[in-house]
Chains A and B, each alone.
Chain A
Amino acid sequence: MKFWRQNKDEELDAEIRSHLDEAIRDRLARGEAPDEARANALREFGNVGLVKEVTREMWGKAPLERLGQDLRFGLRMLRKNPGFSFVAILTLALGIGALTAIFSIVHTVLLRPLPFAEQDQLVALWKRDLISTQPFVELSIAEVRDWGQQAQTLASVAVLPATVYGYGYVLTGRAEAVQLESAKVSGSFFSLLGAQAAHGRVFNESDDVVNGAKIAVISDRVWRERFNADANVIGQSVTLSENNFTVIGVMPAQFEFPKGADLWLPIKTVVPARWAENYDSSFLTAVGRLKPGVTLAQAEAELNTIVGRIAAAHPETNANGHRIVITPLASHLFGDARPALWLLLAATAMLLLIATANIANLSLARATARRREFAVRAALGAGRGQLMRQLLTESFLLALAGGSGGVALSYWLIKLLVRVAPADIPRIEEVSLNLTVLLFSLGVTLVTALLCGLVPALTASRVIINQGLNQSLNEGGNRMSGGAGARTRSALVIAEVAVTVVLLVGATLILRSFVNLSRLDLGFDPTNTLTMQLRLQGAKYANKPAARRAFFKELIERLEAKPGIEAASAVLIRPLEGAVGWDTPFTLEGQSETAAKQNRVPNFEAITPHYFRTIKLPRTAGREFNDFDTDQSQPVAIISATMAQTLFGAGVDPIGKRLKLDLANESLRTIVGVVGDTRYRALQDTRFDLYIPFTQWGPGFVNHFAVRTARDANAMLPLVRNEVAALDATQAITGVATMDELVATHLAQPRFSALLLNWLSGLALLLAAIGIYGVLAYSVAQRTGELGIRRALGAQGRDIWQLVIGQGMRLVLSGLGIGLVASLGLTQWLQTMLFGVSPTDALTFAGVALLLLLVAVLACWIPARRATQVDPLSALRHE
């Protein structure tokens, strides 16, 4: 920079010197004496120093110097207008901070949610049945093996259990015996996922053979709780359900796949040999890894061909209607969270846009106020580019300040959001400000700066240059209130209003969905119900179903005798535990196999007699289970109302009809009762429900215990603990939650989305109102003269009102119209998140429109009042 100037200085010196030399030469040629010639030439030239000065001014500045000057000037300007600067920086900080916070959640949760290598290629695989419309058909080891061998699109594939509940092993021989949930998986499971053991090793395909050595990989939690985090556990032999297994590895703490698994076992070593070959032994689901470059569509097409081939080769499986279902693993596991988070990101971005529009408007107004300054600078030679650069620098400074404030704010916002977020959003604990998020924040800041600054910069500089010095210097430079300036401001406000409308519509729809969900009839009564996990541990219960049944019978009798407890029961899986459960196909007596394939698969529960009383599920026909239903008496079942109606028809009594469950060691069961429908697993769906007595359930595992209390459920917990301890002090109660709390957990995500969205749209509405107010207030101030004239000519207060409010409402109505139309299109994207309300719900749209109009009128109020208070005389004098 210095050199640049130095060169130019030297060049200018040379130029002037050569001018003087020429002048002197001419004079000498005319006959002047040398001294005279020099003196005259100098005199004629003028003040050399001054000429150099004015010439240098034409050079402008070196770019860096210019930037420095712009920055200094910009800072001074911002300091001179603390009010504007403060509001602008605060608004930007809020907007950028919120966007950064939400993005960091999206980044951690959605963009890299799985702790596996190259998760993009991981897929979940199962089948669906077109004939019975069953959406989830389980797989057999043999079939999945064939897929692995025949599919060109899959690099590898592995089976895993469809649910870990109910396949427990009892660990004995160390401290107390305890039930562990197991995941029986293929040998390729760990290598497919790219997962390594934290200690020891994982098993591989060579370990997964029929009659292979019994080995196990344990989870980090089990290692800490049962083995005291002892590294010597590797190679030790443990007794699981009276079989000896060798522990070969411990998984890291973050590895929780499938969720709830305490152990992983090579499947072929722990199932009967024929299950490994039998295409009909289907009780599994699968994961796969696509080969690089393969698309889902390609894999799906190929696998459907293979599935068809296998169905044809094995008619006993009745698989003709089966089709493959293949989804990316991340969305399969965490599907629910995604739409909500993307929605929140979009909403926050929209809020930032509205804030930006407001600031752009403000800046434009201020640029107008500074027109004298710009006019003078233009007169002194500043080009349009220079003026624009000046204004852009100021907006960059604002944005930078806002951005840094935003990043600081986002740190706290992230902490807050993580605390109130529903717990089932995966890896929510890991959300933090990392490099990617910071870069994103920087990008957002720059874009915001551009948007905020470009509009006023373009408009103001163009108008200034066109107008010329005279007009700009005058107070009555009304050209800025009409013409380009005002048009831009109006456009910005209309845009703001439109975006606000879209946000409001979306937020209202989500809110209504949440309200609908929270008002759902579950089928049972969740109040005053205490539930818990009670897995029996100890040698006396290990592999002794009879002992377990006896324990629960005793416990229930003792509890029900206590005042304050109305009923107690044990159940395989409690309601609303999540998307887990036993789907058990069945065949009606007399139904052919093909017809049976069409039966909708019910949710299966094993229960103790007072279960329905405990959860207050109404009985509509027949009887409950009682103490006479034992493993020696007639096998019985109770089904849900819709199941009865669908299977047997509306007027037909299902009592006495029989069916057979597709489980091991099952014979025909007689239906002895019908109960109401429930939303057993999730709020959004009802299924067929089928209940059998715990005493007639072979494996004899139950996981949960429920107690109906007369009053406050939590208050009864110590009592229950005491009774359990009195019966057997070695038992552990975990996972305590009242039914109401479980419902709340299911509502947590919709509530979270609804809450945040409504906050955002409320803020947006506020900002839009401020925007409308700003534009009108400014317009009124500019039109003081005109208003005075109108008054003088006889306009009433009412006329002025109408004028101003009319101006404002015209803007609002345009924005409203655009916003409503846009919403009609955009809300289609919300379809999956809505419940009980359609994306084009008229009531919602109408309500939002009404709200907006109301707020708009309020925003127009003050400027309108000011307008009516204009004193004609002083206004005219002003003009």
Chain B
Amino acid sequence: MKLRYENSIELLQGTLDLLILQTLQWGPRHGYGLIQAIRVGSGEVLQVETGSLYPALHRLERKKWIKSEWTVSENNQKVKSYKLTATGKKQLAAERSNWERLTAAMAGILNPTEGA
């Protein structure tokens, strides 16, 4: 399997994509909800800007990895929420696997074992 080294800008994009897909795995959310979920889930470390999130959401929707739908929230408000598609699930698995390989590789460099 060929690892695709995307350029620096896209690396960030890829990470955000992974976060969104992973979060949506637990159920559909709207934009505001996603930001909160990621913030909370990362222990207040990752605060995603709307300027990054919304383009990412629209892009992921174009790639058909997520699907949007106008529903009614608990507060009886109309919200546009996003849901993971079947293709999106597959993509999520692929990206996770990529990520794990990457982190393992990084660990290998940063914490060299004897004889390396």
Interface residues of A (CB under 8 A from B): 11, 14-16, 18-19, 21-23, 25, 45-47, 50-51, 54-55, 57-60, 379, 381, 466, 468-470
Indicate if B14 sits at the interface (CB-CB under 8 A).
Answer: no
Residue ID in chain B nearest A473 by CB atoms: B7
What chain A residues lie within 8 Å of B59 (beta carbons)? Answer: 58, 381
B58 within 8 A of A: yes
Q: Is the CB of A59 within 8 A of B51?
A: no
Contact of B9 among A18, A45, A379, A466 (CB under 8 A): A379
Q: Are A15 and B80 in contact (CB under 8 A)?
A: yes
Asked if A46 and B32 sit within 8 Å, CB to CB, the answer is: no
Q: B30 to chain A: which residues have CB within 8 Å?
A: 15, 18-19, 22
Contacts of A466 in B (CB 8 A): 4
Is B31 in contact with chain A by the CB < 8 A criterion?
Answer: yes
B42 at the A interface (CB under 8 A) = no
B77 within 8 A of A: yes
Bound state CA distance, A58 and B59, in angstroms?
6
Q: Measured between alpha carbons, how far is A385 from B7 in the docked complex, in Å?
A: 19
Q: How far is the CB of A763 from chain B (nearest CB, A)?
A: 44
Q: Known contacts A18-B77, A60-B62; is A469 also within 8 Å of B54 by CB?
A: no
The residue from A18, A55, A59, A469 contacting B78, defined by CB atoms under 8 A apart: A18
Give Cα distance in the complex from A509 to B92, angstroms.
65
Inter-chain CA distance A46–B30, complex, in Å, is 17
User: Quick one: CB contact mask for B1-40 with A, threshold 8 Å, 1 for yes?
Assistant: 0001111011000000000000000000011110000000
Tell me the minimal C-beta distance from A389 to chain B in angstroms: 16
CA distance A59 to B5 in the complex (A): 25
Q: Report the separation of the CA atoms of residues A381 and B55 in the bound assembly, to the nearest whole angstrom.
A: 12
Question: Given the complex of chains A and B, what is the CA–CA distance between A16 and B33 in angstroms?
Answer: 12
Docked CA distance A18–B76 (Å): 11
The answer for the CA separation of A469 and B30 in the assembled complex, in Å, is 33
Q: Contacts A11-B80, A22-B30, A22-B32: A468 and B54 contacting too (C-beta < 8 A)?
A: no
Q: Sample 14 A-B pairs with CB under 8 A, ordered by A number.
A: A15-B54, A18-B32, A18-B77, A19-B30, A19-B31, A22-B77, A22-B79, A46-B49, A46-B51, A54-B55, A57-B55, A58-B55, A58-B59, A379-B7
Q: Determine which residue in A22, A23, A57 has the highest number of CB atoms from chain B within 10 A of its CB, and name it.
A: A22
A55-B55 contact in complex given A22-B30, A45-B50, A46-B50, C-beta closer than 8 Å: yes
- How long is the Cα–Cα vector from A323 to B80 in the complex, in angstroms? 85
A19-B31, A58-B59, A469-B7 given; A50·B51 CB < 8 A: yes
Residues of A within 8 A of B33 (CB): 22
The interface on chain B, measured as residues whose beta carbon lies within 8 A of the other chain's beta carbons, has a size of 24
Q: Closest residue of chain A to B33, judged by CB?
A: A22
User: Does B75 count as interface, using CB distance less than 8 angstroms?
Assistant: yes
Report whether B58 and A14 are in contact in the complex, using a CB–CB cutoff of 8 Å: no
Consensus secondary structure, chain A interface: helix
Contact A19 B6 (CB under 8 A): no
> A55 contacts B79, CB within 8 Å?
no
Other A-B pairs, 18, CB within 8 Å; known A14-B80, A379-B7, A469-B7: A14-B78, A18-B77, A18-B78, A19-B30, A21-B77, A22-B73, A22-B79, A25-B75, A47-B51, A54-B55, A55-B55, A57-B55, A58-B55, A59-B58, A59-B62, A379-B9, A466-B4, A468-B6
B77 neighbours in A (Cβ, 8 Å): 18, 21-22
Cβ of B62: which chain A residues have Cβ within 8 Å of it?
58-60
Shortest distance from the beta carbon of B19 to any chain A beta carbon, whole Å = 17
Which of A18, A25, A54, A60 has the largest number of chain B CB atoms within 10 A?
A18
A54 contacts which chain B residues (CB < 8 A)? 51, 54-55
Q: How far is the CA of A148 from the CA of B78 in the complex (A)?
A: 86
| A55→B75 contact, CB < 8 A | no
User: Chain B interface (Cβ within 8 Å of chain A)?
Assistant: 4-7, 9-10, 30-33, 49-51, 54-55, 58-59, 62, 73, 75, 77-80
- Report the bound CA distance from A47 to B51 in whole Å: 8
CA distance A47 to B52 in the complex (A): 12
- When C-beta atoms are compared, the residue in chain A nearest to B60 turns out to be A58
**Given A58-B58, A58-B62, A468-B7: A51 touches B51 (CB 8 Å cut-off):** yes
Cα distance A21–B33 in the bound complex, in angstroms: 12
Which partner residue on chain B sits nearest A45 by CB separation? B50
Whether A19 lies near B50 (C-beta < 8 A) is yes
Chain A residue nearest in CB terms to B9: A379
Partner of B5, one of A14, A22, A468: A468
Q: Which residues of B contact A19 (CB under 8 A)?
A: 30-32, 50
| Residues in A neighbouring B49, C-beta threshold 8 A | 46
Q: Are A55 and B58 in touch, CB under 8 angstroms? A: yes
Instruction: Assess whether A51 is in contact with B78, with CB atoms less than 8 Å apart.
Output: no
* A-side contacts of B73, CB under 8 Å: 22
Q: Could you tell me the distance between the alpha carbons of A381 and B9 in the complex, rounded to whole angstroms?
A: 11
Q: Inside 8 A of A468's CB, which chain B residues have their CB?
A: 5-7
Q: How far is the CA of A854 from the CA of B73 in the complex (A)?
A: 80
| Bound CA–CA A54/B33 (angstroms) | 20
B75 (CB) vs chain A CBs: closest residue: A25
Q: Kindly state the separation between the CA atoms of A466 and B31 in the bound complex, as whole angstroms.
A: 32
Q: Roughly how many angstroms separate A381 CA and B10 CA in the complex, as a whole number?
A: 9
How far is A95 from B9 in the complex, measured between Cα atoms in Å? 46
Cβ contacts under 8 Å, B10 to chain A = 379
B47: min CB distance to chain A, Å: 9
B64 → chain A closest CB, angstroms: 13
B47 — nearest CB in chain A belongs to which residue? A44
A51 contacts B50, CB within 8 Å? yes
Contact of B31 among A15, A25, A381, A470 (CB under 8 A): A15
Residues of A near B75 (CB, < 8 A) are 22, 25
Are A18 and B54 in touch, CB under 8 angstroms? no
Write out the residue numbers on chain A whose beta carbons fall within 8 Å of the beta carbon of B9.
379
The residues of A that contact B5 with a CB separation of less than 8 Å are: 468
Nearest chain A CB to B63's CB is how many angstroms away? 9
Contact B58 A470 (CB under 8 A): no
User: What are the 8 A-B residue pairs with the smallest beta carbon separation, nearest first?
Assistant: A58-B58, A469-B7, A22-B32, A55-B54, A58-B59, A19-B32, A15-B80, A58-B55
Residue of B nearest to A44 (CB): B50
A50 to B52, CA, bound (A): 11
Residue numbers in B under 8 Å from A46 (CB-CB): 49-51
**Closest partner residue, chain B, to A22 (CB atom):** B32
Give complex CA distance A690, B62 in Å: 88
Report the minimal beta-carbon distance from B13 to chain A, rounded to whole angstroms.
9
B80, A51: Cβ atoms closer than 8 Å: no
Distance of A862 from chain B, by nearest CB (Å): 39
| Shortest Cβ distance from residue A377 to the other chain B in the assembled complex, whole angstroms | 13
A841 CB to closest chain B CB, in angstroms? Answer: 52
Query: Which A residue's beta carbon lies closest to that of B78?
Result: A18
Tell me how far the C-beta of B10 lies from the nearest C-beta in chain A, rounded to whole angstroms.
8
Docked complex Cα distance between A46 and B52 (Å): 11
Tell me which residues across on chain B come within 8 A of A59, comparing CB atoms. 58, 62
Do A23 and B55 form a contact, CB below 8 Å, given A14-B80, A18-B79, A379-B7?
no
The residue of chain A having its C-beta at the shortest distance from the C-beta of B58 within the complex is: A58
- When chains A and B are docked, how far (Å) is the Cα of A18 from the Cα of B4? 37
A54's nearest neighbour on chain B, judged by CB, is B55
In the assembled complex, the Cα of A16 lies from the Cα of B51 at a distance in Å of: 11
Residues of A within 8 A of B6 (CB): 468
B32 — which chain A residues lie within 8 A by C-beta? 18-19, 22-23
* Bound: A631/B7 CA distance, A: 107
Q: Which residue of B lies closest to A469 (CB)?
A: B7
A60 and B77 CA atoms in complex are apart in Å by 29
A15 to B32, CA, bound (A): 10
The distance in angstroms between the C-alpha atoms of A19 and B80, with both chains bound, is: 9
State in angstroms the CA–CA spacing of A232 and B54 once bound together.
Answer: 91
Complex-state Cα separation, A858 to B49, whole angstroms: 64
Instruction: Report the Cα distance A50→B54, complex, angstroms.
Output: 11
Tell me the minimal C-beta distance from B90 to chain A in angstroms. 19
Bound-state Cα–Cα, A381 to B33, Å: 26
